[in-house]
Amino acid sequence: MKYSLVNRDDRISIELTDQFRELAAQLGMTEDRESPDVVLSIGGDGTLLHAFHLFIDKLDEISFVGIHTGHLGFFADWKPDEIELLAKLMSGPKKGYERRIVKYPLAEMQIHTKSGTEVHYALNEFTVKGAEATLVARLDINDETFEMFRGDGICISTPAGSTAYNKSLGGAIIHPSLETIQIAEIASINNRVFRTLGSSIILPRHHHCDIYPKTHQKIQLFIDHLQVVHDDIQSIRCRVADKRVSFARFRPFPFWTRVKEAFINSDKPQP
Ligand code: NAD
């Protein structure tokens, strides 16, 4: 088994990285930064997002695993004191544990500018904002004008990202087995002149949406934790990507349990 490590570059993550390397060598695993089978992210969800974008061109060949060094993460669900067990499970089958690959849908964004088209993939979401002023844009769904948006921005999230920025915007939480993208508004201006739907919208795999920013607007785009600024965008097409991301699971951790543990904390005594 070939593995690669990505860490948050803080003291605990670096120590865990060294510890994993030692364990892996004892268990006969090889470190391969170019073409690993598994990428182990040590840090938090942000570290896993970083690892995802580092290996974006190899998504068909690799799966991800995450150890969290802070609070329980959505992607990073192994605790630091489980590193030895995780190394053993990664090195081969172990009685009582079953290795499964879970695949999650991604969002695809095609940015059309005068000079060409850029394609990006997000594990959590794309966010489109005005860089210097309020975003003014037309939103089309399946090539038909849907609404004129004026406000802080538009967030297009994956099901895995529905628990991230999308949740703060009042969007629905979507199970990652559903191949969808969700469009959520960020502080839209609604009055007698400007009107948007106000609710978030969930599109299935065979639908797409296009965002047409008003011409000459400087647009700030976030692709998960990454940021790019453009001032010549003609349109942005968003849809469910053909690519998917794989996570290696060695024990069950149902999505709704993760949601409950992250946001409700059921361990607290009930009234
Ligand atoms: P960060 O350091 O600001 O952390 C953002 C928080 O979001 C962390 O607590 C992380 O654990 C959590 N998070 C990340 N992905 C998640 C997911 N899929 N489900 C639930 N929680 C998740 O930023 P970062 O670590 O670089 O992460 C970038 C992410 O931050 C973006 O993809 C976006 O989703 C999120 N974000 C959220 C808001 C907001 O909620 N208002 C605003 C901006 C960005």
Average pLDDT over residues 138-147: 97
Domain span holding position 64:
2-99+250-263
Q: Are residues 121 and 237 in the same domain?
A: yes
Q: By alpha-carbon position, which residue is closest to atom 1 of ligand 1?
A: 46
The Å distance, Cα 44 to ligand 1 centre, comes to: 10
Tell me, yes or no, whether 268 lies in a domain. Answer: no
HEC-encoded secondary structure of the chain: CEEEEEECCCHHHHHHHHHHHHHHHHCCCEECCCCCCEEEEEECHHHHHHHHHHCHHHCCCCEEEEEECCCCCCCCCECHHHHHHHHHHHHCCCCCCCCEEEEEEEEEEEEEECCEEEEEEECCEEEEEECCCCEEEEEEECCEEEEEEEEEEEEEECCHHHHCHHHHCCCCCCCCCCCEEEEEEEEECCCCCCCCCCCCEEEECCCCEEEEECCCCCEEEEECCEEEEECCEEEEEEEEEEEEEEEEECCCCCHHHHHHHHHCCCCCCCC
Q: Are residues 37 and 115 in the same domain?
A: no
Tell me, yes or no, whether 269 lies in a domain. Answer: no
CATH number of the domain that 145 lies in? Answer: 2.60.200.30
> Residue 157 CA: which ligand 1 atom is closest?
34
Instruction: Quickly state the pLDDT bin for 267 (edges 50, 70, 90).
Output: low
- Encode pLDDT of 63-98 as tens digits: 999 999 988 789 988 999 999 999 999 999 888 888
Q: Are residues 71 and 131 in the same domain?
A: no
Q: Are residues 226 and 191 in the same domain?
A: yes
pLDDT at 270 over 80: no
Tell me, yes or no, whether 172 lies in a domain. Answer: yes
Q: Are residues 127 and 213 in the same domain?
A: yes
Q: How many domains does the chain have?
A: 2
Instruction: Please choose from 165, 174, 264 the residue to mutate so as to test ligand 1's pocket, defined by most ligand atoms within 8 A of CB.
Output: 165
Tell me, yes or no, whether 209 lies in a domain. Answer: yes
Tell me, yes or no, whether 53 lies in a domain. Answer: yes
pLDDT at 266 over 80: no
